[in-house]
Amino acid sequence: MFESLTDKLQNVFDKLGKRGMLNEADVNAALREVRLALLEADVNYKVVKDFVKRVRERAVGIEIHRKLSPAQQVVKIVHEELIETLGEPEKLNLGKQPPHVIMLVGLQGSGKTTAAAKMALRLRNSGKKPLLVAADTYRPAAVQQLETLGRQIDIPVYSEGIKPSPPKICANALKVARKEAFDVVILDTAGRLQIDDSMMRELEAIKQKTQPVEVLLIADAMTGQEAVNVAQGFHERVGLTGLILTKVDGDARGGAAISMRSVTGVPIKFLGVGEKVTALEPFHPDRLASRILGMGDMLSLIEKAELSMDQEEAQKAAEKLLEGSFDLEDFLSQLGQIKKMGPISQLLEMMPGFRGVAKEVSPEVTDRELRKIEAIISSMTPQERRNPRVINASRKRRIARGSGTQVQDVNALLTQFRQMKRLMKQLTGSKGKGLLRMMGL
């Protein structure tokens, strides 16, 4: 996620960190590189211009915080301005009398039908009673796809096939929802290959008949600036209340996510971060900004863990991570939960210091690769897992033989683990705590 942009920004900050005290020329040179990195990431030009201007105004001539180096201060400013650009988080509007109608719109191929199922599952898990409505009568097998997803997650799907008009289907579904006491009605409307007038007239008719509390655009993040243009087109005709960016896990640039709020004025409410029906995350600007800057995302990691383990275990793991006392034995005990938490590449990206490992791991990580990591740690003695410092060359050879891997594999795992430990120590030290407090962590 945002790999290309993160790498470029990290290079800029690494250069700043080597300079010690910064002057205006240093800041301007760094911001030129930041500007170029954002433009290459397909961030809207006006958004980039405004962003760099705000950072420059704060970074040049600012009184440096005593507990931060000048380079850290610039990183802090960039982090805060990224959050400002991404906008305030907003929850779904479910405060009025049920049933609440959520209308999903978007172009064909944006992941609208899958997003409908993901949202229904999320709402069901939060105590709601959702009803999915198959209102896409144009795309071949769209109705069947939604019905299949509904069966997988055990959520009812209202369907009348492909003959009735979508506005009529949605109106009838709303009557059923009132009769059978459904809390939320999610309308999976039809998409097109491009915006056209007939599609918009149909969506306007559906909106008039159902009076949705939310009109959410499902936008493919990987289309970059085109996603922003699509959002503007839909907003002008049907009045969007929010956005769901899909395929964010495959977007190495990140331009759409950064540009959307500033250009459209419409809040991002969810991010689709994978193909699984559980891969839908609420949008948190501060967490996304941290990911973009390569700082990890401990809060989202902990939330994923809470879905896979009991509260006591989640709390224990969170405390160990933040204290810097998380060892290889702890990591081994968590491997059994990794498949439930999503691809290991996403998990590692959230862990400070493990981004290097995440870059080398395919998003579609195989069971064989997971078993290799588990085999390396399992081949260590309890003492080695708790204190990797005792692992010398002969121990590495023994571990490699015992796990059926190479010494290089053992070295790679240990190196990344040491980097994480050093970073966690910095974050829990006096300077790190000051930085965390100012970042709201």
Q: Among 292, 318, 290, 291, which residue's Cα sits nearest to residue 304? A: 318
- For the domain made up of 3-86, give the CATH fold: Four Helix Bundle (Hemerythrin (Met), subunit A) (1.20.120)
Q: Which CATH number fits domain 298-438: 2.60.40.420, 3.90.1720.10, 1.10.540.10, 1.10.260.30?
A: 1.10.260.30
Q: What is the pTM of this model?
A: 0.68
Q: Return the pLDDT at 318.
A: 64
Rg (CA), the chain: 24
Q: Does residue 213 have a pLDDT over 80?
A: yes
Architecture of domain 100-292: 3-Layer(aba) Sandwich (3.40)
- Annotated domain spans of the chain: 3-86, 100-292, 298-438
Q: Return the pLDDT at 435.
A: 44
State how far the Cα of 140 lies from the Cα of 162, in Å rounded to an integer.
9
Q: Return the pLDDT at 225.
A: 77
* Whether the Cβ atoms of residue 38 and residue 259 lie closer than 8 Å to each other: no
Kindly state the average pLDDT of the residues 14-22.
Answer: 70
- Residue 359's CB is within 10 A of a number of other CB atoms, namely 13
Note the pLDDT tens digit of each residue in 41-61: 888 888 899 999 988 888 776
* Whether the Cβ atoms of residue 103 and residue 239 lie closer than 8 Å to each other: no
H helices then E strands: how many in the chain?
Answer: 21, 8
* Whether the Cβ atoms of residue 210 and residue 184 lie closer than 8 Å to each other: no
Question: pLDDT confidence of 319, banded at 50, 70, 90?
Answer: confident
Write out the two tokens for 58.
């704060």
Dihedral Cα 298, 299, 303, 305, nearest 10 deg: 20
Note the pLDDT tens digit of each residue in 217-243: 998 887 777 888 888 889 988 999 999
Q: Return the pLDDT at 322.
A: 66
Note the pLDDT tens digit of each residue in 374-433: 899 999 999 999 888 899 999 999 999 999 999 999 998 888 787 766 766 665 554 444
Kindly state the average pLDDT of the residues 327-341.
Answer: 71
Q: Return the pLDDT at 432.
A: 46
């159902």: which residue's tokens?
A: 210
Q: Among 360, 347, 331, which residue's Cα sits nearest to residue 421? A: 331
State how far the Cα of 132 lies from the Cα of 120, in Å rounded to an integer.
7
State how far the Cα of 153 lies from the Cα of 278, in Å rounded to an integer.
10
Q: Does residue 324 have a pLDDT over 70?
A: no
Residue 113: in which H helix or E strand, if any?
A: helix 112-125
Q: Return the pLDDT at 177.
A: 95
| 383 vs 140, more confident | 383
